[in-house]
Amino acid sequence: MNREIVLDTETTGLSPATGDRLVEIGCVELINHIPSGRHYHVYINPLRSMPEEAFRVHGLSDEFLADKPVFKAVAEDFRAFIGDATLIIHNAPFDMGFLNAELERAGQGRLTNTVIDTVMLARDKHPGARVSLDALCKHYGIDNSRRTLHGALLDSEILAEVYLELIGGKQVSLALIAETRVSGADAIATRTIAARRPVPLAPRVTEAELAAHAALVAKMGDEAIWSQYAGEGHTAAAE
């Protein structure tokens, strides 16, 4: 099972080194590149005032965040949700920088998960093109009309669609659906072997037709492909 977490954050500014803090985390779980329906979402009290520039981006005010938990109170739940899954992040250095700064401030270790940066994926796939999330939505025809303001969970949901397109689009989804599904130790095969009929059908080929066919095959010589089925005519005709 390939488990990935599409992740996004909102913050009070651009750099944890200058005192900016996380205010929102949104995560969407993918299993074999397909959304599982599970997600993680939390608002965080940054214990500092919200700059006007940041408020215009995500609309999270001091008043709204005042009664929300601090990061330390949610850190364990967050880490439990992501586990050791690969993280899918748009402009990963930004989000990882804030997450690791908050974890260190909370007395926890930095994240060691594998990270896939969709900005880098997009630049490799579309050299020279704009690779913002909005630009990629427009390129792939993904509806982002709900994105009037930045929001961590909504952006994660949109990024999951963009990520699927970047790694191959709907063909990936269709191929994965056709794979064997595993539940615990039991595998459900995606194809079955046809069983023989318990009571053979009545023959549809007459004895005269079988004899004529056998004579024709004999004239073709031993190398003829029909020779491989010599003697099977009666059986095949009756099934």
Whether residue 31 is predicted with pLDDT greater than 90 in this model: the reply is: yes
Give the model's pLDDT for residue 18: 96
The β-bridge partners of 33 are: none
Tell me the pTM: 0.71
- Residues carrying an active site annotation: 150
Give the model's pLDDT for residue 194: 41
Do residues 6 and 27 lie in contact, with contact meaning Cβ atoms separated by under 8 Å?
yes
The phi and psi torsions of 121 (rounded to 5 degrees) equal: -60, -45
For residue range 63-75, list pLDDT tens digits in order.
Answer: 999 999 999 999 9
Alpha helices in 83-127 (DSSP H): 92-105, 118-125
Alpha helices in the chain (DSSP H): 52-58, 62-65, 71-82, 92-105, 118-125, 133-140, 152-166, 170-177, 207-220, 233-238
For residue range 187-236, list pLDDT tens digits in order.
Answer: 333 333 344 545 555 666 677 777 877 777 777 776 666 665 555 444 44
What band does 184 get if pLDDT is binned at 50, 70 and 90?
very low
Of 167, 142, 166, which Cα lies nearest the Cα of 154?
Answer: 142
Q: Going from the N-terminus, what domains does the chain have, and what CATH number goes with each?
A: 3-188 (3.30.420.10), 194-239 (no CATH)
Q: Provide the CB-side half-sphere exposure for 163 (13 A, CA).
A: 27
Do residues 210 and 203 lie in contact, with contact meaning Cβ atoms separated by under 8 Å?
no
Do residues 162 and 118 lie in contact, with contact meaning Cβ atoms separated by under 8 Å?
yes
162 compared with 225, residue with greater pLDDT = 162
As a whole number, mean pLDDT of residues 29-52 equals 97
